[in-house]
Amino acid sequence: MTETGIRNGRRNTASAIDLQQLRFAVVASDYGSFRRAADVLSIKHTVLSRSIGQLEYLVGTSLFERSSGGIKPTIAGQAVLRIARLILEQVDILVETGRSGGRGDTGHLVIGFYTSVSTGNLRATIGEFKKRLPQIELATMERSRFHLMTALRTGTVDVVVSPGRLASMDVKSLLLWSERILISLPRDHCLAARETIYWANLRNEKILLSKIDPGRELEDLLISKFASPDDRPAVERHDVSRGIIKNLTSMGMGLSLVMESDIGASFAGLAYRELHDGTGPSRVDFFAHWRADNENPALNRFLNLLAERYPSLPPALEG
C-alpha cells in the first residue's frame, strides 16, 4: 500500500472513533467494572461492552484485562485512556467556549478549580457569592491544571482557584487560604488509633495517589518531608478520581493524602488524621488566578469578595 493510502486508512479509522466510545471506556476504567459503569451511565451492560469492543477493534489493541472480579486497564489501555481523558476535556472546553462566546453576558462568571467543594473555603465563598449576587449566572469547571490554564488563556474561565501557583506571565494571583493535609486510612489500621500522625510514621506504608490533580501537589509535599528517598513510603499512582482513591483506601490497599476540603464527603470505613511535622500541621496554600485583561464586571465582584474574606494581601494584587 502506498504511503498516501496508509495515511488515508489511519484517517478513516480515527474518524470512526466517536466520543461516546471514549467516554464509556473512561467511566468503565474509573469504576473497574463494565456493569457498574453501565449502571452509572444508565445504559445496558451489553451496549457499553459492545461500544468498548468496537473501540478496541479500531485502536487495534485490548484496553482492558477482563476477569470475574472486574476489569483493569492493560499497559496499552492506560496510554489510550490517558489520551481519551485529554480529548474529552478538550471537547468540553470547546463546547463551553462556544456557549460563553455566544452569550455576550457580563453577568456571567465561570470559576475553575481542581480541588473538592464538598466542604471548606471554596464552597463557602461560592455560596456567599450566590447569596449576595443572585442575578449573576455562575458556572463552575473542574479540570486538570493544564486544561484550566488553557481555559484561562482562552477566556473560557474567568478565575481559577487552586492549590499552589499557576505559572504564567499574563496571569495575576491572590493568596487566599491554606488547608491542612490529612492522611486517609482504614478505621482498623494501626495508625488510626493516633490523634496525630507524623510524616515519619508513614515510612513503611504505601501511599495511593491519583494521577489527576491535585495529586502532584500532594506528591511534591510528600517528597519534601523525607530527606532521603530510601526513607520515603512507597507511592502507588492510579489514573482514577479522588473518589476511587478513597474506595481503594477503604479496601486496605494503602493510605492516601487528602486536603481538608475533601473530607466533607463522608466515606464508610475511612478515618482522617492530621499530618504533622516538627512545626505543627502540614498545610498547602490556595491562590486565585485570573487574566489581567479580563474586564468582566462579575469577575471584579468575585475578586472583591475574595479580598474581603481572605485579606492576606492588599488589593494591589500580585502579578
The predicted pLDDT at position 159 comes to: 95
In 187-247, at which residue ranges do the beta strands (DSSP E only) sit?
196-198, 206-210, 234-238
SS3 state of residue 304: helix
| Per-residue model confidence as pLDDT tens digits over 180-227 | 899 999 999 999 999 889 999 999 999 998 887 776 778 888 888 888
| Per-residue model confidence as pLDDT tens digits over 243-279 | 888 889 999 999 999 888 877 666 778 999 999 988 8
CATH number at residue 129: 3.40.190.10
- Hey, what long-range contacts does 34-41 have (CB within 8 A, 24 or more apart)? 34/71
For residue 249, is it within any domain? Answer: yes
CB atoms within 10 A of CB 35: 14
For residue 165, is it within any domain? Answer: yes
Q: What pTM was estimated for this model as a whole? A: 0.63
- Domain total of the chain: 3
Does residue 73 register a pLDDT over 90?
yes
For residue 289, is it within any domain? Answer: yes
DSSP string, 74-136: -HHHHHHHHHHHHHHHHHHHHHHHHHHHHH--TTEEEEEESS--SSSHHHHHHHHHHHH-TTS
Where among 52, 84, 116 does a domain terminate?
A: 84
CA dihedral of residues 287, 236, 143, 83 (deg, nearest 10): 140
| Per-residue model confidence as pLDDT tens digits over 10-61 | 556 666 889 999 999 999 999 999 999 999 999 999 999 999 999 999 999 9
- Where b means 16+ CB within 10 Å and e means fewer, 104-118 reads eeeebbbbbbbbbbe
Helices H / strands E in the chain, number of each? 10, 13
Quote the domain boundaries for residue 274.
180-283
Q: Taking the mean position of all CA atoms in its chain, how far away is CA 237?
A: 14
